[in-house]
Structure 1
Amino acid sequence: YQASVTVYECEDCDTCQYKPKCTKAKGNKKLYVSKKFIQKRSKSLENITSSEGIMLRTNRSIQVEGAFGVLKEDHGFRRFLTKGKINVKTEFTLLCFGYDINKFHNKIQNDRCRILLHEIKAS
């Protein structure tokens, strides 16, 4: 997006007793503000602090890292057995299929097939 920045500048900083703590500039203190950026930042903060945003952030944090942890620790996967990009991609795809089938089987066993996200526990 194209940013429009508003510049605020003091009229005269020479006589201010706080100038050494406030700025190291030779001239006056300048403050650059993008009102569109502040608006987008506040909207983003509103989104991530809503109940849905908290639930999505919590679920995102446990999804990807957990999958690699399961592949490494539970399945004992430490290194690829093949060489070459295509072969490694095929091997990793098979690992992912196996992981997904196992996860789907566990969902069926625990009667969680229609539940996509974990609910946030009330504290």
Structure 2
Amino acid sequence: IKPVNYEQSKKRNYRTKYGRPENMEYHEMGDIFVCKAGRILWRVGTKHEKSKTGFVSEKALYRCESCEGCPYKQNCTKAKGNKTLAISHKFKELRTESLENITTEFGKQLRMNRSIQAEGVFGVLKQDHGFRRFLCRGKNNIRTEFLLLGLAYNIKKLFAKISENRLGISLFELKSA
């Protein structure tokens, strides 16, 4: 699955926003960021945030030494004081790994197949099966109805694969330009 900002990150506007941590230099040795103006954002602490689901993330806090007189301050930060960043290094590593996975040939093939297969299922359920709304009320009843609908779809798909002798093939090949 593509990261949320994947499409945005390919645009020039995203790459030229110098206030974003992705567009700043990071020096792992000193654990510092360097902004476009050459000013250093020092690590000032660590913050733990708990999400609604209960997941606790650890973020490193960085603050610029001084943003006074910086020609880029207006477009870099909205803060009255100095620029502050909160970075989750674990999240950054996982996002980099995810980006590497989806840009490989196999990753491109999986993305293409996912878009074909997932959207097609909902189209078939709505158009061919006439499924427009749930007939029951309550989360458990809706879950049961959706599971039955999925089971029926999968049985129908399996029958079609058996009759066409396509059981071992699960992915479509990428077309080369």
What TM-score does the superposition give when structure 2 sets the normalisation length?
0.52
Structure 2 counterpart of 1:50: 104
> Equivalent pairs: percent with the same residue?
47
Structure 2 counterpart of 1:115: 169
CA root-mean-square deviation? 3.1
Structure 1 counterpart of 2:124: 70
Secondary structure (helix, strand or coil) at the match of 2:58 reads: coil
Name which of 61, 69, 73 aligns with 1:15: 69
Closer, same or farther: CA 112–13 of 1 in aligned 2, 3 Å: same
Uncovered stretches (5+) of structure 2, i.e. residues with no partner: 1-55
Contact 2:161 2:167 in 1 (8 A): yes
Q: Could you tell me how far 1:120 is from its partner in structure 2?
A: 1.7
Flag the structure with more relative contact order, 1 or 2, with Cα contacts below 8 A and sequence separation at least 6: 1
Q: Could you tell me how far 1:74 is from its partner in structure 2?
A: 1.6
Secondary structure (helix, strand or coil) at the match of 1:3 reads: strand
Closer, same or farther: CA 98–4 of 1 in aligned 2, 3 Å: closer
Moved more, 24-33 or 36-45: 24-33
Contact 2:102 2:111 in 1 (8 A): yes
**Structure with greater strand percent:** 2
CA distance in 2, matches of 1:103, 1:2: 41
CA distance in 2, matches of 1:106, 1:61: 20
Give the partner amino acid of 2:62. Answer: V
**Structure with greater helix percent:** 1
Uncovered stretches (5+) of structure 1, i.e. residues with no partner: none
Give the partner amino acid of 1:122. Answer: S
CA distance in 2, matches of 1:87, 1:22: 50
Q: Between Structure 1 and Structure 2, how many residues are aligned?
A: 120
Secondary structure (helix, strand or coil) at the match of 1:7 reads: strand
Over residues 27-85 of structure 1, what are the superposed CA-to-partner deviations in whole Å (9 max), with x where a residue is unaligned? 333344443333222111101111222222222222233222212212333456x6566
